[in-house]
Amino acid sequence: MRRYLRILLPILVVALVIVVVLSRCNSNTPIIGSSDANTQTSSSQGSSSTNDTQNSTAAELITIEYNPTATGIYIARDGSIKSAEITDFSNEGFDKPRYDLETLRSYVTEWVDSYNQAKEKKSVSIESIELKDNAATLILNYDSINSFIDFQGADFGVTSLKIGSSEFAARNFALSGLKDKDGNNVTPIDALQDESVTVVAVSGSCLISFAGEVKFLSRSLTLVDANTVRVSSKSDAFIIFK
């Protein structure tokens, strides 16, 4: 009996190895074990949950377009800036129009091109020039806060402007004296709980519109509407929007 076992055992081992190899080479045979499959399922479910959260967060971030009705600036979440200059006029009583669109466009284009050439990059660009209802409207885009301040910040009454995330603001802004849109006092900790907000520190005298809804602002500032604030402050005042 032992002799037969000694003969058969090597044969059985070789046969078993061949079966295992063939099973692994068979494309129709799954190589993933049950524990691996569970891990993949959990990972897939986690990914779906993450995507749902991201989609939910994105849905909450409502972007408000800039349709200015008065001279001011517009700040997006990424820190990009637009400015709008609106000048009321009337051509009544004049032999020829005081404001001609082509003349105005030529003047502004020369003004912007001259600045960009001096900076050796396209820091400022023209978004639109319009003459309508006895008003001339010029909207410009800037590649950075510094470009806006340097180009015509003083003309808009802006003396200082900084933009950052809630985390950046917590570390770099001396937040204090905040209120919500209903005028209730709010602590900086409560105001920055939502990590998706954008925080603006500004000094000067100007009208600022934002890409989202204003949630909190310094008590010294005036909330004009859901996304617009009138600033009048010699030191940094704060607006938090989402």
Give residue 35's region: left, alpha or beta (phi > 0; psi -120 to 50). Answer: alpha
Q: What is the mean pLDDT of residues 15-21?
A: 40
End-to-end Cα spacing for the chain: 84
**Core vs surface per residue 139-161: b (16+ CB within 10 A) or e:** bbbbbebebbbebbbeebbbbbb
Per-residue pLDDT tens over the stretch 35-74 = 222 333 333 334 333 333 333 344 455 678 899 999 999 9
pTM of the model: 0.71
Count of Cβ atoms closer than 10 Å to residue 39 Cβ: 12
CA distance 240 to 218: 9
- The secondary structure of residue 65, as a DSSP letter, is P
Coil, strand, or helix at residue 159?
A: strand
Per-residue pLDDT tens over the stretch 162-183 = 999 999 999 999 999 999 999 9
More confident residue, 31 or 86: 86
- Calculate Rg over the CA atoms of the chain: 32
The pair of three-digit structure tokens given for residue 46, joined into one six-digit string: 């986690």
Count of Cβ atoms closer than 10 Å to residue 117 Cβ: 10
The pair of three-digit structure tokens given for residue 217, joined into one six-digit string: 């602002």
pLDDT of residue 40: 34
> Taking the mean position of all CA atoms in its chain, how far away is CA 157?
24
* CATH class, 65-156 region: alpha beta
Q: Which residues, in sequence order, are CB contacts of 164 under 8 Å at separation 6+?
A: 172, 173, 198, 199
pLDDT of residue 60: 54
Per-residue pLDDT tens over the stretch 143-156 = 999 999 999 878 89
Give CA angle at 127 (125, 129), nearest 5°: 115
Contact 68, 84 (CB under 8 A): yes
Sequence ranges of the domains in the chain: 65-156, 159-242
Per-residue pLDDT tens over the stretch 91-137 = 777 777 767 889 899 999 999 999 999 999 999 999 999 988 888 99
pLDDT of residue 28: 37
